[in-house]
Amino acid sequence: MVVFLTTEFTDRADGHVLVGLLSMLTLYIILTTGRAVFDVVRPPRHSNYLFVIFHHAGQICVIILFASFGLVMHDLFGSWIPSGEDFAIALVAGSFASIMAIWTKNLMSAAKLPFPTLVSELRKDIGAKQLAFARALSRNYDSSGNLGYLVEAILLAEAQQRPKWFRRIENFTGKIGRTGTYGVAQVSAPAPISDERSIELLIEQLIARASFRFDENNFDHAELHKLLLQHNPDPEHVGRIMQYFYGIQEYMLQN
């Protein structure tokens, strides 16, 4: 609609429709999507910067597609747009209707998935084989189960951030020899690795970096946070991992 109205106003102002459309698109992409991409690629890079770049590239394609569609719509239906006072009344009425529709949608939108349901869905994305491997390997280093809970929490958080389909894209693009984070555990490697190998490396790194024993009854929150920051420097992602860890730990203690 914005593209259509831009071309219509440009045409009625005796301007060149295509020039007006290209100017609007260029300005919009630079100030929004372009700026977002710049923030993502400049150091320090976010751990999921590749996913975000794919997302913004898709946005640009959609914007260009709808801009082209708007140009076609202008040629077909430009004469239908009312002028003068009628157009102003219709625009204001449409704006109020849109605001009410958005408010109603937000009011009636469904709540977020409950924790058990979310964990169940993410476990399906990880895979039963990978989870069984992670739990068995964790028990070799810690019989209390805490290391296993932490490893699973990391896998859940990584699966939420990078679902299976995106991990496959990473493995495909990584075949050209690009260093990145691979596998269901998203550990750094010079080339794509298997999910099992990523879990092995994750457990080795956690044990080597931890300043506490995993079989302790109570973890120090600050020390756990510090350990997880070494795995992923994004505080928001670390907070997500800790929520999964404490949630799984509490559930296992109650059952």
Q: For 183-224, how does the pLDDT look when each residue is reduced to its tens digit (9 = 90+)? A: 999 998 888 899 999 999 999 999 998 887 777 666 678 888
Q: Is the pTM of this model over 0.85?
A: no
Say if residue 50's pLDDT is above 50: yes
Q: CA angle at residue 195 from 210 to 149, to 5 degrees?
A: 40
- CB 133 within 8 Å of CB 196: yes
Question: Which of 255, 221, 218 shows the shortest CA–CA distance to 241?
Answer: 221
Say if residue 37's pLDDT is above 90: no
> Which residues make Cβ contacts (< 8 Å) with residue 219, sequence separation at least 6?
146, 212
Domains located in the chain, CATH noted = 2-108 (no CATH), 115-254 (1.10.530)
- CB 78 within 8 Å of CB 6: no
State how far the Cα of 100 lies from the Cα of 92, in Å rounded to an integer.
13
Section 107-122 average pLDDT: 73
pLDDT category of residue 13 using cuts at 50, 70 and 90: very low
The chain-wide mean pLDDT, for the chain, equals 76
